[in-house]
């Protein structure tokens, strides 16, 4: 079984960024229970694969040591020359075989996906990808085009694929995709649309929520577990965690 998590770390908000990223790392790596980890007691299992969005130089400076101590290799291995970026991490014994940036064909905000081939010593190979899709309310058509590109990548011949990231999709946009031949399977839908997981981001000052953060499975994957993770004030997004069985 493979465990994965995706989280938009809200890195462009710089208030208390050090303490916030420390808290988020603890949530991802030991379920937020540092005392249990230090005392050798059982904690929530650490994910094999991590996808972070809205990484910045400041978030990277805080997180890199924690991720390295947890046995993770990251891509990119250091800060990029842009305001923010998406990052993938794999935990030993998984390793990166190949990583590429794929620019979306339609993106006024110059968004791109990170697409990696990752391998296990037992011979398992998979494609692991993330992205932060168009953000602005006016970017609906670009979001739809980007989601369809990802769907196409997941359907490509080769190792089985998983996408996990911040799609920024509104409900109506998702309904358009689902009704229009979208092939990838949404983990939330496979989990039975749990009421407690309907929103991964809630507009500040209101109760209006959106399911921006999603995990899409290519052909053959089986969803074994699905949950949202909450790190409180560390990020305005909730993380999406899944356990899956490969084809």
pLDDT at position 41, please?
A: 85
Mean pLDDT of 96-113: 96
Predicted pLDDT at 39: 67
33 vs 107 pLDDT, higher one: 107
Alpha carbon dihedral 216, 80, 118, 157, in 10-degree steps, equals 60
3-state secondary structure of 54: strand
What pTM was computed for the model? 0.95
pLDDT digits (tens, 9 = 90+) for 179-219: 989 999 999 999 999 999 999 998 776 678 999 999 999 99
Q: CA-CA distance, 98 to 90, in Å (whole number)?
A: 12
What does the pLDDT read at residue 60? 96
Domains, the chain, ranges and CATH?
A: 2-245 (3.60.10.10)
Alpha-carbon distance of 172 to 23, in angstroms, equals 34
* pLDDT, tens digit, 9 for 90 and up, residues 137-166: 889 999 999 999 999 999 998 999 999 999
239: pLDDT strictly greater than 80: yes
Bridge partners of 113, per DSSP, are 102, 131
Question: Phi/psi at 123 (nearest 5 deg)?
Answer: 105, -10
């Amino acid at each position: 079984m493979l465990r994965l998590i995706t989280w938009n770390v809200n890195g462009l908000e710089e208030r208390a960024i050090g303490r916030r990223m420390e808290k988020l790392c603890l949530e991802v790596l030991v379920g937020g229970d540092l005392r249990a980890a230090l005392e050798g007691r059982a904690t929530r299992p650490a994910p094999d694969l991590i996808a972070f969005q809205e990484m910045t130089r400041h978030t990277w400076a805080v997180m890199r040591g924690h991720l390295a101590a947890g046995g993770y290799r990251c891509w990119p291995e250091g800060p990029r020359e842009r305001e923010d970026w998406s990052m993938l991490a794999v935990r030993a014994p998984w390793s990166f075989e190949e990583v590429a940036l794929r620019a979306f064909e339609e993106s006024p905000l110059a968004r791109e996906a990170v697409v990696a081939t990752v391998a296990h010593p037992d011979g398992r190979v998979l494609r692991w990808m993330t992205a932060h899709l168009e953000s602005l309310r006016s970017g609906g058509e670009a979001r739809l085009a980007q989601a369809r590109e990802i769907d196409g990548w997941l359907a490509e011949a080769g190792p089985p694929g998983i996408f996990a990231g911040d799609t920024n999709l509104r409900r109506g946009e998702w309904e358009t995709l689902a009704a229009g031949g979208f092939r990838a399977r949404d983990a939330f839908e496979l989990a039975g649309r749990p009421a407690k997981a309907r929103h991964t981001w809630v507009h500040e000052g209101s109760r209006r929520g959106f399911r921006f953060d999603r995990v899409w499975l290519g052909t053959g994957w089986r969803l074994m577990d699905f949950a949202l993770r909450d790190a409180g004030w560390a990020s305005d997004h909730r993380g999406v965690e899944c356990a899956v069985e490969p084809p």
